[in-house]
Structure 1
Amino acid sequence: MDSQPPSTPPSQKHGQTGNHSRSHLTPEEQRRIEVNRLKAKAIREQREAEEAKRIPHPSPTRGTNIGTGVKRSFASMSSPQGPATLRDGRTGAIHTNRPLDSIRPARNFAKYVEYDFSKMTDTKGGFLTEDDDPYNKALYVRDGKKEQKPAHMTQKEWDRHQLLKSTRRDDIMVSGSKQNTCCECGSLEIDRKWEEAFGCCVCSSCKEKYPEKYSLLTKTEAKEDYLLTDPELKDEELLPRLEKPNPHKATWNNMMLFLRYQVEEYAFSAKKWGSPEALDAEFVKRESEKKRRREAKFRSKLQDLKKRTRVEAYRRNRNGPAGGNFGDDLGSGSRHVHQWGRAQENPEIGMDIKKCVDCGMEVEELEF
């Protein structure tokens, strides 16, 4: 019986048996063992992948989760359909993929624009040109060639104006019988703004050629020269007008412009004065009436001044030619203002003395 106590590591004779068996394996046997081990591992992974496809995965939307500590196989993670936990909240699908093309950007990055720098112009300054980004209005150069939005118009009104302008430009292709021409020279290049505001078809050259007919009048000029009233000038059906920003101050009301020949047609018609001679007669009548009122007002003020002067003279005559004495009651409830006479030298004190002609108060005058 072996009385040797157990020891760690085991005795040398047990270790020699294992090393002896391994040392007798040839390289060919070791290669076959390694190949068999890899085949068995591949078969096991294939079986696990098939079982994972047959077993339904728990739906995350039903409040169930995958158990903690369960390791998923590499095949389930590398499958073309993707992992089971990949969800698409937009469609409600569980096993759907999310390609990058269908991902919507955040609201703050919705206006993000990606540029291809290989196709852009190198400006050597770090800025973009209009050719690189033709749809960016911030890059447009205000060189006067392109019409800009006026300050008094909103963006919606400006877009409507541009649309109407482009529509009229397309009307050039229409036959000449349907187009509006200049009423003076017959040209097709009429002022579309005047046509829309005044209903007058005239070109720019004729406007400069006939200023006595096609010049613009302000509201003040129409009231003073043609004696029109505010209700008549505010009636657009009676007198068309063109509104522009006030040149004196932007916060004031818009400036109203009227066409001269339209104002004259209404002023000289039977609805108003009838003829230029009647307008001139009315103008003379109003001027004479204003002159008469001014003269009457001046005469009334002059009569009032004479009355006050007579009362003052009567009061002074009543007090005597020498004037009043110091302390006399002048009989007026208003505040007294001294009226000093000429300074006279007093031989007793050797100083100049001034005396008030109304109350008789005396003051000494010193000259430095």
Structure 2
Amino acid sequence: MSAERPSTPPRQNAAGPGQLPRGPLTPEQKRKMELNRMKAKALREQHEAELAAKTRSAGTSPNTSQPTQGLKRSHASMTASNPPPSTVRDARTTALSSDRPLDEIKPARNFTRYVEYDFSKMTDTKGGFLTQEDDPFNKALHVPDDKEAQKPANMTQREWERQQLLQSLRRNREGPFEPGLSVLDDKSKQKTCRECGSLEIDWKWEEQLRCQICHSCKDKYPDKYSLLTKTEAREDYLLTDPELRDEELLPHLEKPNPHKSTWNSMMLYLRYQVEEYAFSDKKWGSSEALDAEFERRETDKKRRREAKFKTKLNDLKKRTRVEAYRRNRQGAAGGDFGDDLSTNRKHVHQWGRTVDNPETGIGVKTCVDCGMEVEELEF
């Protein structure tokens, strides 16, 4: 047996096809490798010395920080000797280490560029739209909306409900805000219902519509005291917009639009007031004259509709004659019915679904482009 120490065989410089074999290391390369190895060894020894010094200052032996074969290390042994690096962004770890303040926590790479806003110094511009604060005299911006009414912070819910109730009673002139009634007043000055003579009239209608009527008579005579919208008064009684806007001529009620709160307010008129003005000598004179005017306008509307239809039909005939004339001028090369003469492309029929003719009982197909019809027989 040979007493020589076994050694690792040298690495074979097996070069692939088309490659040159790797040459041996130069002395300069060997010197750099040795310097790097010595630097790494010195850094390791320095780190071990610092770790041992920290362990002695903490009052523990250096052997406790070394892992034991077959035993699991505790969390305290790992955190006491090895402080977390500065790049860790764990709030729990930061709270445990007193020598690492929160200012040293660096944000993630994707969040290093950001803008920090101070919301206490920012102004809400409402997206550039005009509001009531910008133009307090514009009535279109002051649309009553129940959603805008919010309870003040210094008011309880019960106080807020009571205030809303009082505002509603004051607006409708009901309850404590209803005008007082007394039997001692002069009867000539008392306001009574125009139908039954009752003293309990609707004060809101009396103030805005100038109509003295009680609630029971409103329900009893709906043909006279029902409310009409502005569109109904304009279309049914043929009234104009200036007449409907004149409050001295036709008083009206204004209510929020039920379709959308931002639209114009809805204007409501009393039916008997509208009929009195429409049937008077100032407007149409009687209901028969109003019906005659309505029939005349419907006849004119029908005549204008027929004239418009005839104009379009004559235009279609003129264009058809021009196309037929161009086809005749081109002769046999003009193509068949439905061909596009402007581009000289041959028309390809696109037949629709077969429909049975009720007179002959034969199926008929129609081209969806040119309208040509052909009969189809099934055997």
Normalised to the residue count of structure 1, the TM-score between the two structures is 0.47
In our comparison, the structure showing a higher alpha carbon Rg is 1
**TM value normalised by structure 2:** 0.46
